[in-house]
């Protein structure tokens, strides 16, 4: 059945891929974005589509629209961007969640929250299951994002318990792919752009820290699988690819795939940078019947093709 679906942060990296999928599936999409990190370029191909509507709006302000379902993705996701105006980052997560939950409550609409593996902080449990409460510094430079997202989860579960809202909370682990912002400082886009330009590849720290990288198409499939579960499934559910790599391995792979002459340089590790991260996706596997299918090399090739077109 065709629905009218609100996607906040819909002009961003993940949001624009989600809009694409929802339109393909025959839904009407209302994309709400303040264009802080998102771009019209990400959704330009949808602008003429009668089933797509774009609205410039900041989710920290109330929003009165009529929709059947809500995906709440609005929030800068890369450390450079979320640390640019940390107070606004917390407001976006917290006031944004309150407004979108208020909207969902008035409409009795199902609502999805794009939470994050950052709720686990610098974890001492590895890989991270949903039951792990995390190890987050409440006053560090990453806290505006981590604590904002943690508080948003609290709000989602309190609206669920207190008002009976239908909620779906996904904890997203590092995801990459076409339409990542070339200057947002995340590791995959940084390394690819540097390698394409023949610039030095900047490894922070000694490069022994790990991340597990999920390709965007797999992740969006996970979003829809979670959204379409029955009301008893609230999450939180980890979504990510458990294949774990050191940052040094990632650098080597990018250099080799591009055939780049770039050399690796080592720079200071930013504060509170998690040492290791890998999702335990047992819950997604059993509850959603979801596993990622695109492995790092294959996903990097697709992502490199995208950046080759846009990077000068």
Positions marked catalytic: 145
Sign of the torsion angle spanned by Cα atoms 157, 163, 164, 169: negative
**Judged by CB under 6 A, which of 94, 103, 114, 144 binds ligand UDP?**
103
Question: What's 58's DSSP letter?
Answer: -
Per CB under 6 A, does 111 bind ligand NAD?
A: no
Whichever of 42 and 190 has its CB closer to ligand UDP, that residue is 190
110 touches 104 (CB < 8 A): yes
Q: How far is the CB of 48 from ligand UDP (least distance, A)?
A: 29
Closest residue by Cα to residue 166 from 97, 104, 94: 104
111 touches 167 (CB < 8 A): yes
For residue 305, the number of C-alpha atoms closer than 13 Å in the C-beta half-sphere is 5
Tell me the window of 199-207, 217-225, 253-261, 281-289 that interacts with ligand UDP (CB under 6 A): 199-207
Whichever of 44 and 263 has its CB closer to ligand NAD, that residue is 44
Per CB under 6 A, does 98 bind ligand UDP?
A: yes
Per CB under 6 A, does 260 bind ligand UDP?
A: no
Identify residues 200-229 at the interface with ligand UDP (CB under 6 A).
Answer: 202-204, 209, 211
246 touches 276 (CB < 8 A): no
Tell me the window of 52-60, 157-165, 192-200, 251-259 that interacts with ligand NAD (CB under 6 A): 52-60
Per CB under 6 A, does 274 bind ligand NAD?
A: no
299 binds, among ligand UDP, ligand NAD, none (CB under 5 to 8 A by kind): none
**Judged by CB under 6 A, which of 74, 97, 255, 296 binds ligand NAD?**
74
Sign of the torsion angle spanned by Cα atoms 172, 216, 210, 82: negative
Dist CA 72 CA 81 (whole Å): 18
Q: Which residues of 40-60 are buried (b: 16+ CB within 10 A; e: fewer)?
A: eebbeebeeeeebbbeebbbb
**Judged by CB under 6 A, which of 22, 76, 120, 209 binds ligand NAD?**
76
Per CB under 6 A, does 128 bind ligand NAD?
A: no
Per CB under 6 A, does 218 bind ligand NAD?
A: no
Helix, strand, or coil (residue 100): helix
């Amino acid at each position: 059945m065709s629905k009218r679906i609100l996607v906040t942060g819909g002009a961003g990296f993940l949001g624009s891929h989600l809009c694409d999928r929802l339109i393909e599936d025959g839904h009407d999409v209302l994309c709400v974005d303040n264009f802080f990190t998102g771009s019209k370029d990400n959704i330009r191909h949808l602008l003429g589509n009668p089933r797509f509507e774009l609205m410039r709006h900041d989710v920290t302000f109330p929003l009165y629209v009529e929709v059947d379902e809500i995906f709440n993705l609005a929030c800068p996701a890369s450390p450079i961007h979320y640390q640019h105006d940390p107070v606004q980052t917390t407001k976006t997560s917290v006031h944004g969640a309150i407004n979108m939950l208020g909207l969902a409550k008035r409409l009795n609409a199902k609502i999805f929250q794009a939470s994050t593996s950052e709720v686990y902080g610098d974890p001492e449990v590895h890989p991270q299951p949903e039951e792990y409460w995390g190890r987050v510094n409440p006053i560090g430079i990453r806290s505006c994002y981590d604590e904002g997202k943690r508080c948003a989860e609290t709000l989602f579960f309190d609206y669920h318990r207190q008002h009976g809202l239908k909620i779906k909370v996904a904890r997203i682990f590092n995801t990459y792919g076409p339409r990542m912002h070339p200057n947002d400082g995340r590791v995959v886009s940084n390394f690819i752009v540097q390698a394409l330009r023949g610039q030095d590849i900047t490894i922070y720290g000694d490069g022994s820290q790990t991340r597990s990288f999920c390709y965007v198409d797999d992740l969006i499939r996970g979003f829809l699988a979670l959204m379409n579960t029955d009301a008893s499934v609230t999450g939180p559910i980890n979504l990510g690819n458990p294949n774990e790599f050191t940052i040094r391995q990632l650098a080597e792979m990018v250099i080799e795939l591009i055939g780049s002459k770039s050399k690796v340089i080592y720079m200071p590790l930013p504060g509170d940078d998690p040492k290791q991260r890998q999702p335990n996706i047992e819950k997604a596997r059993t509850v959603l019947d979801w596993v990622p299918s695109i492995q790092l090399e294959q996903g990097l090739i697709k992502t490199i093709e995208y950046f080759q077109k846009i990077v000068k």
